Amino acid sequence: MDRKTLVNHIRQRRSCLCVGLDTDPSKIPAGLDVLTFNKAIIDATRDYCVAYKPNLAFYEVLGSKGWDILAKTVDYIGKEHFTIADAKRGDIGNTSGYYATTFFDTYGFDSVTVAPYMGKDSVEPFLQHDGKWAIVLALTSNAGAFDFETLTAEGKPVYAHVLEKCSQWGTPNNTMYVVGATRAELLAEIRKVVPNHFLLVPGVGAQGGSLEDVMRHGMNDDIGLLINASRSILYASSGPDFAEAAAAEARSMQQAMAQFIS
């Protein structure tokens, strides 16, 4: 999905919600399998969101069956929603090239999350597929982000170096950045470095990030945000009404976003 189409979806639905499909078999209602649960969540939320983000760990752990479930989930989502393979890949060039082909061509995702630690040749292969995106980890929402990402190097934090350097490799049409909602106070500074790029923002919902703060400080002229919520939507109810509860939570977030999206 290209940038123009993504922006149109955001404005038409007045939503920049991304639903994280981090489906844990131990948390879904008894008697349901992962694929059936995913389909019910997608049906319940597709009117309120613009993107879906399966985290690969929840599928890889199931072996070959999990990869089949992943493929069928992406197929069920269809082409009217942006899809993110939350795989956090990043390796030497030829290996990254095969990772890019795997997720873009074999599984049909629109984007892949990428770890930039190994530098340019680990990220570039993800930028060579038309209409596809690399979503580069910059400032994440986990506690361990303070171990490296916020350290000062040459007068600025490491994550700022990541933003600046990676923006030279790609463009706002094929590169996004992960910036956690729990770091919302830094969004204004981040926008000075990458004013036109999209940001994928986890951490709203179960991790306690403020949706309003993210919208207020993170939007650009194209909205420029995909705000992810996973557990707060998937497990809004553990009972037979799980889909209805997921829809209500997604609708609530969409309505909050609509106040900022003209």
One-letter amino acid for residue 69 of the chain = I
Catalytic one of 4, 65, 79, 88 = 88
- How far is the CA of 189 from the CAs of 131, 192, 240, in angstroms? 28, 5, 44
CB 233 within 8 A of CB 261: no
Measured CA to CA, the distance from residue 14 to residue 112 in angstroms comes to 24
Active site annotation includes 88: yes
Query: Catalytic amino acids?
Result: 88
